[in-house]
């Protein structure tokens, strides 16, 4: 996974905010997936338009208090999990 790869929300996913969290429903499998406050913000950013990990890291760093290296590692982990569950699409740079 390259920091300049672009990530987009899958068309097979419906999202609903519940407080600070977001619940995702994969329409093709019927499986639900929950995102915490930071994950919810990432989902909102991706829902606006496709973005790279670097762009997502910039937004998260500006909005949440965490070291950049931690943010980037957490975003890679989140992107990997979302991709494995077919909730996002990765477009190589």
List, for residues 18-73, the tens digit of each pLDDT value.
Answer: 999 999 999 999 999 999 999 999 999 999 999 999 999 999 999 998 999 999 99
Region for residue 37 given its phi and psi (left: phi exceeds 0; alpha: psi -120 to 50; beta: otherwise): alpha
For 63, list phi and psi in degrees, rounded to 5: -105, -20
**Pick from 9, 3, 5, 1: which is nearest to 39 by CA?**
9
pLDDT band at 92 (very low <50, low <70, confident <90, very high): confident
Of the pLDDT bands very low, low, confident and very high (cuts 50, 70, 90), residue 2 is confident
Helix, strand, coil content of the chain in percent (nearest 5): 45, 30, 30
Does the pLDDT value for residue 1 go beyond 80?
no
| pLDDT above 90 (res 86) | yes
**Interior CA angle at 4 toward 24 and 81, to 5°?**
30
pTM: 0.91
Q: What is the CATH topology of the domain spanning 6-89?
A: Arc Repressor Mutant, subunit A (1.10.10)
Distance, CA of 74 to CA of 26 (rounded, Å): 22
């Amino acid at each position: 996974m390259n920091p300049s790869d672009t990530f987009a929300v899958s068309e097979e996913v419906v999202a609903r905010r519940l407080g600070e969290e977001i619940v995702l429903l994969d329409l093709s499998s019927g499986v639900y997936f929950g995102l915490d406050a930071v994950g919810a913000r990432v989902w909102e950013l991706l829902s606006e338009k496709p973005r790279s990990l670097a762009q997502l890291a910039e937004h998260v760093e500006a909005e949440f208090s965490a070291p950049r290296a931690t943010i980037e590692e957490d975003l890679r982990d989140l992107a990997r999990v979302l991709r494995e569950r077919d909730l996002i699409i990765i477009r190589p740079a």
